[in-house]
């Protein structure tokens, strides 16, 4: 079964750090671009970051640039999001998601269940 499972969320104080993980299974992880998308409580989806298939190219939303770092370990089939200098406005459910290739071009075809990050004192 094709699956993405996030972990690492939790409660953190403003200015703190967290590292999210996304474990992939059921597909050739190293062949896919991967993204992080977040959703603040009661709000809509917001794109956060992306990594190409080998991790050599990354992009970030302006709101997290310089604070968040996306990375991946293809040997472990795992995507990461290192979040530093966290702010209250970073509070959200964080989803990792895969970009479909030939079958679903340009679409996020697989999503994890999400992990909640709460930034509060």
**How near is the Cβ of 114 to other proteins at its closest, in Å?**
6
∠105-98-29 over CA atoms, to 5°? 110
Q: How is residue 23 written in tokens?
A: 């474990």
Nearer to other proteins, 114 or 121 (CB): 114
61 binds other proteins (CB under 8 A): yes
Per-position x/- string for 98-117, each x denoting binding to other proteins as judged by CB under 8 A, each - no binding: --x---xxxxxx-xxxx---
Per rule CB under 8 A, is residue 27 in the interface with other proteins?
no
State the DSSP code for 66: T
Residue 35 binding other proteins, by CB under 8 A:
yes
Q: With binding defined as CB under 8 A, does residue 41 bind other proteins?
A: no
Binding site for other proteins (CB under 8 A): 35, 37, 44-47, 50, 59, 61, 95, 97, 100, 104-109, 111-114
């Amino acid at each position: 079964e094709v699956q993405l499972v996030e972990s690492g969320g939790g409660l953190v104080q403003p200015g703190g750090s967290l590292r999210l993980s996304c474990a992939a299974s059921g597909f050739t992880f190293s062949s896919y671009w991967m993204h992080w998308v977040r959703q603040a409580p009661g709000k809509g989806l917001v794109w956060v970051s992306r990594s190409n298939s080998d991790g050599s190219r990354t992009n970030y939303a302006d709101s997290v640039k310089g604070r968040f770092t996306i990375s991946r370990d293809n040997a472990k089939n795992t995507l990461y999001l290192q979040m530093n200098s966290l702010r209250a406005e970073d509070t959200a459910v964080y989803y990792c998601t895969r970009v479909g290739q030939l079958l679903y071009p340009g679409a996020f075809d697989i999503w994890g269940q999400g992990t909640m990050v709460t930034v509060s004192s």
